[in-house]
Structure 1
């Protein structure tokens, strides 16, 4: 870190970037500031990986899940990591750091395509984003509904959500998910430019992204911790896949996720902090539901 900070890469005069430019009012300096901001910069990459667990939602419908689920998780995550590393190499090779930092609406890929191909590149990227979005939505919608379906089957949600139609599809769970998703898109944001006084209207997509990453990190901690606990409680349970480096790897995973949770809560309390609070509201909701479960609904 010290070498990086002393180099031209960190020099504000060389590329217009420093810790204050990235996080105005940040009290930390030097290598510690770099570490904090690196954690915040992980929001995008972590968001890209948030669906890595979705394949497990349909585990009961997978043939030989002990073999196929672990392979799907490993290969899927590896492909995403390679693609994102290559994409970032392309960004750095094509754009200067200030152009990356100040890309309009944080659309760095669009800025890169515009710099290389001009207007046709922007249109090509828009088409690629649409294809990616539709594919992503397909997986998220179909897999996400299985969570509410499983909760209802375990008497942790309304019984109707745990039913399937004649095609064995959790149709009502899909309807509930669609209604909730629609509500999340309704809130609007208003940003006022302090210099010009101009108003910019938008939605809460960026804020939702930060909510999601913080919440996901909490569940990753719980997920990995559950492995440690269940292996202790059920030592004789079948284990078709064994974690390499156990138990060091799970503890490292928990520690890194916990550090990122604290980092995001400190640097983005208005979004990540609220996301964490939303997750914590589920604790009393869980116990209230268990003690006063409306099983007739």
Structure 2
């Protein structure tokens, strides 16, 4: 008797989808990137402004994506939206960039962050130790542990959506509660003198060196400083759209995906702003800017909890990054599945295993992310790709306007809230961010563009191969 072909199972409810959004967003960034933001903008007012503007952009994008997710409630998410609004080349460039760097390098970065903070509890995993020197690169225990974690989470996700869902929802609930606890204890421990000093001259923007020395900006370079500061906050707020990749496994996706996008991004935005307000109440601005290895949360926790603060934050970040990587791994494979169905990725990636998940796609992603762990270059690449990520967000949101014109009669169970104002605002703000990066931080732009544009000849090569197969 012929076995039935495996198909996706609708197993994720609204709670699970919301936890996937929030859990994929919260990794290690909120514990670290505020140091670089303060070095760029120099004041508490501008620190919170950077997080507010990032939060607004994320919410605006999430509300806009709700319309697209309701129109196309199937695996692939943003890849599908770009194909429907533009053409297969545009969607392939996104999928190529997603596989080459955006998702796989993020998985590597989050995995190594887990390992780095594990070393606080078990020093044997220190990133400063070397277990192998290959001449062209060295390998640390932190890198090896990160690979083991990626392999473990990949294996768990090949066991079926229920395994991934259990890890994601439980770990995200724990990290939200622990972050909330840190913020509450932090506000309880606020030093009024530090708060008063940090919140005087709140709009005095300048470059703040870890030594406390201030370097003034003129107006235009100040805008560039805001854009550079936002690289960290945008990285920390990214991956909110991962739930759209897994739409085929969400119950009532036409309702729950759009709602989970809003709820998840709103919850995380509030937590991020509250955490940064707390930082400014327990640490001076030079202490934030000069935190050891940028680990602001560790420095703050030492003030709040004393000597046990380091271990508390280490455990929190381990929980946070473990859950974050589970969401990234779970969702990313569905993009490669959709690409393979279009003949634009390894053919086997377009099949589901006996547990009704894209097992082959999960393992391909695991291998590539593990390679990024070994190179140690994932951090640089993530800075470089921030520009491209925002460009694809803008193109996808512009796709709402295109689809409303191309398909005015298409079913739209959910319409973008604030249309056309919020989508236009996001596009304008994203455009300003990208232009400022091009002018003032070109190292954050051209490498990501090159990686993306490499996808053009690859696309035409794959297409020619597919055409040759059809004519044979």
Q: Does the 8 A contact of 1:11 with 1:18 survive in 2?
A: no
Q: Does the 8 A contact of 1:67 with 1:240 survive in 2?
A: yes
- Where does 1:67-82 land on structure 2 (aligned, <5 Å)? 67-82=255-270
Rate the CA distance shift 1:156–1:120 in 2: closer, same or farther, 3 A.
same
Which residue does the alignment assign to 2:455?
282
Cα drift, residue 184 of structure 1: 1.2
Which residue does the alignment assign to 1:40?
228
Cα drift, residue 255 of structure 1: 1.7
Which residue does the alignment assign to 2:271?
83
- Where does 1:168-207 land on structure 2 (aligned, <5 Å)? 168-187=356-375, 203-207=376-380
1:247 and 2:435 are equivalent in the alignment: no
Give me the TM-score of the superposition, normalised by structure 1.
Answer: 0.83
Cα distance in 2 between the residues matched to 1:240 and 1:204: 43
1:152 and 2:325 are equivalent in the alignment: no
Cα distance in 1 between the residues matched to 2:449 and 2:360: 28
| Count of residues paired in the alignment | 270
Cα distance in 1 between the residues matched to 2:380 and 2:439: 15
Cα distance in 1 between the residues matched to 2:244 and 2:262: 12
Cα drift, residue 114 of structure 1: 1.9
Cα distance in 1 between the residues matched to 2:460 and 2:307: 55
Cα distance in 1 between the residues matched to 2:458 and 2:289: 40
Q: Does the 8 A contact of 1:158 with 1:294 survive in 2?
A: no
Cα drift, residue 280 of structure 1: 2.4
Q: 1:225 aligns with which of 398, 404, 410?
A: 398
Q: Deviations over 1:13-43 (max 9, x none)?
A: 99935456xxxxxxxx333332221111112
Structure 1 runs (4+) deviating above 4 angstroms are: 11-15
Cα distance in 2 between the residues matched to 1:35 and 1:255: 15
Q: Does the 8 A contact of 1:155 with 1:295 survive in 2?
A: no
Q: 1:260 aligns with which of 433, 449, 453?
A: 433
Rate the CA distance shift 1:14–1:232 in 2: closer, same or farther, 3 A.
closer
Of residues 275-284 and 57-66 in structure 1, the stretch that sits farther from structure 2 once superposed is 275-284
Cα distance in 1 between the residues matched to 2:427 and 2:372: 29
Q: CA RMSD in A?
A: 2.6
Structure 1: give runs of 5+ residues left out of the alignment: 21-28, 188-202
Which residue does the alignment assign to 1:124?
312
Cα drift, residue 295 of structure 1: 8.6
